[in-house]
Structure 1
Amino acid sequence: MAPDIDGFEDEPDGDELDDLDGAHGLDRSSPMPLWAQLQQDLTRRLGSGEFDNGFPGELELVEAYGVSRYTVREALRRLRESRLIDSAKGRGSWVRRGGDNNPPLGSLYSLFYEVDAKGIQQRSVVVSQERVTSALAARELGLPEDTEFFYLERVRLADEQPMAHDQTWIPASVAAPLLDVDFAVSGLYDELAARCGVSLAGGRERISAVLPSDADRKLLEVPDDIACFEIRRVSTVEARRLEFRLTVVRGDRYSVLADWSPQGYTVSAEPLPGAPTEG
């Protein structure tokens, strides 16, 4: 492999790797970036407990998957952001244990975390990505009605099956740099942190059972006898309401879980067994 212009090795041509020590080969003809494919496969292997006795180093992953160190580093960065692994200079990476594996940011993202952890391929179809005004978003965020927002609308797929219709509004004064991001595979919060310097600190979600609108029924391919969940989220940064998100999820592909004890309870979410591959 020859060094590329960034000082990393070029990706090799072809797809010689089919399976090596549990690693699944990456598809270089896929529109999904290699780092995203690598992240998915490592997530699958983490979920199966393959790395319980030690997580491989960067060079081991470069050799096993036949990719550049840049690709490996980007995949590991995403795994750290998902709180699946930790890393430290001179110590490499290791699997997070126990409560550290609890996904951040509420039940909606518990759901997408659980989908990843089960090795199910995720991607998004971007319906709209533009500047808009929205009286609804302005009201939810306590802003003037003429506030301009960055608006992102996606259909979230799991194993190529529609799972959720996701709409997000963030003031354009903060999120305008996201207008040219490819959100087919990129995560909104990752890009918000990287490009805008903003990390959401918390917020509130309201989950309700709803009958889907005709538009949602069409986008999500919902049968007539299936209801949906609607998730309304307002996210904050330093007590400032910054994001309004409205997500409709197929009710036959999603469940809400509550773990309780005398000290209280926590709410999480998971895909229903077999749901992503059902008609």
Structure 2
Amino acid sequence: MILLNVRTFKVGYVRTFDNPGPAVRFDDGGGAVDDAGLDRSSDVPLWRQLQQRLLRRIRAGEFDTTFPGELALAEEYGVSRQTVRQALRELRADGTLVAERGRQPRVAPAAEIVQPLGALYSLFAAVEAAGLPQRSVVRTLDVRADAVVSERLSLEGSTPLLYLERLRLAGNDPLALDRVWLPAELARPLLDADFGHTSLYGELHRRTGIRLDHGQEQIRAVIPTPAERAQLECADDAAALSICRLGTVAGTPIEWRHTLVRGDRFALTAEFSGRTGYRLVGTAATA
């Protein structure tokens, strides 16, 4: 069984990116300033801005040996210790920092992704492990504009997006219809990739150096459209699971993904305990 969280997912990341990119700083008028600058006129809370700036510095390896204390960060960024505490609290909550009582926070050891996490992608690995080959039929791979998706990615409506649509098969039968959008400025090298039997996230990292480090998923039951039923080869009265995912890197939206999974081939089972709380387990039916 594959463990998943329908609300959020977290994956390990490699902090030594090929090109982590410069951190952007703004003054009150919108101009660039030094690393200590925070945009105090922004609607984004100061603690969130501080969290994102610290995350960029962590990604760049600046704090691999030591991490500064609350007072030092408050002085450097010109904010209250309460603002610093809130930023550090979020960094501890997502696993970026490790803090023990009475000790200085430190950057958590990096975890290298060996397999994309989440409901569908671990499901495909499980299908192969069970002896059922998985492959994809690429329906579309191009660059286009989509105002609705661009808004979800916090981009201008006319921004070029790389669009990939695949029919995912387990054995010889369709299992899911997978659609994904990424900013073309970052993902254009994927146009040369063969997605017949490869991981999107693996190709994204190999060709661009990008790894998603956080995101949110929403899973709900839906009735497929006639066109979707035809591609999935499911019965007229069969339901499906709709999985919407927003993936981010250092707080910046990078991926919008919609996956439609056949309900008769994929089940969700709930587990709960006092230690781990409530969680879901994904399982696949055999062909």
Give the TM-score range, shorter chain. 0.5 to 0.7
Deviations, residues 124-148 of structure 1 (Å, cap 9, x unaligned):
0000000011122112212111111
Please point out which of 254, 265, 269 is paired with 2:278: 265
Q: Which stretches in structure 2 are left out of the alignment for 5+ residues?
A: 1-113
Change (3 A) 1:129 1:103: closer
CA distance in 1, matches of 2:147, 2:123: 28
TM-score, normalised to structure 1, is 0.59
1:206 to 218, 235, 242: 218
Deviations 1:13-44 (A, max 9, x none): xxxxxxxxxxxxxxxxxxxxxxxxxxxxxxxx
Match of 2:237 in 1: 225
When normalised by structure 2's length, the TM-score is: 0.58
Correspondence for 1:129: 141
Kept in 2: contact 1:228–1:251 (CA 8 A): yes
Structure with higher RCO (Cα < 8 A, 6+ apart): 2
- Which of 172, 185, 188 aligns to 1:160? It is 172
Deviations 1:202-224 (A, max 9, x none): 21111111010111111111111
Say if 2:156 is the partner of 1:144: yes
Q: 1:115 to 1:215 in 2, by over 3 A?
A: same
CA offsets 1:34-72 (integer angstroms, 9 cap, x no match): xxxxxxxxxxxxxxxxxxxxxxxxxxxxxxxxxxxxxxx
Cα distance, 1:104 vs structure 2: 4.7
Residue 250 (structure 1) aligns with: 262
The runs of at least 4 consecutive aligned structure 1 residues that moved more than 4 Å come to none
**What SS does structure 2 have at the residue aligned with 1:138?**
helix
How far apart are the structure 2 equivalents of 1:113 and 1:140?
A: 29
Return the index of the structure with the highest Cα Rg.
Answer: 2
CA separation in 2, counterparts of 1:126 and 1:194?
A: 20
Q: Return the offset for 1:268.
A: 3.2
Q: Is the 8 A contact 2:124 2:170 kept in 1?
A: no
Relative to 1, partners in 2 of residues 1:126 and 1:253: Cα closer, same or farther, differing over 3 Å? same
Q: How many residues align?
A: 175
Give the Å deviation of 1:175: 0.3
Alpha-carbon distance in 2 for matches of 1:243, 1:268: 24
Identity among equivalent positions (%) equals 44
Question: Which of residues 217, 236, 240 is equivalent to 2:252?
Answer: 240
Is contact 1:110-1:270 (8 Å) kept? Answer: no
Per the TM alignment, residue 103 of structure 1 is displaced from its structure 2 partner at its CA by 6.4
**Alignment RMSD, CA only?**
2.0
Gapped runs of 5+ residues in structure 1?
A: 1-101
CA distance in 2, matches of 1:147, 1:180: 20
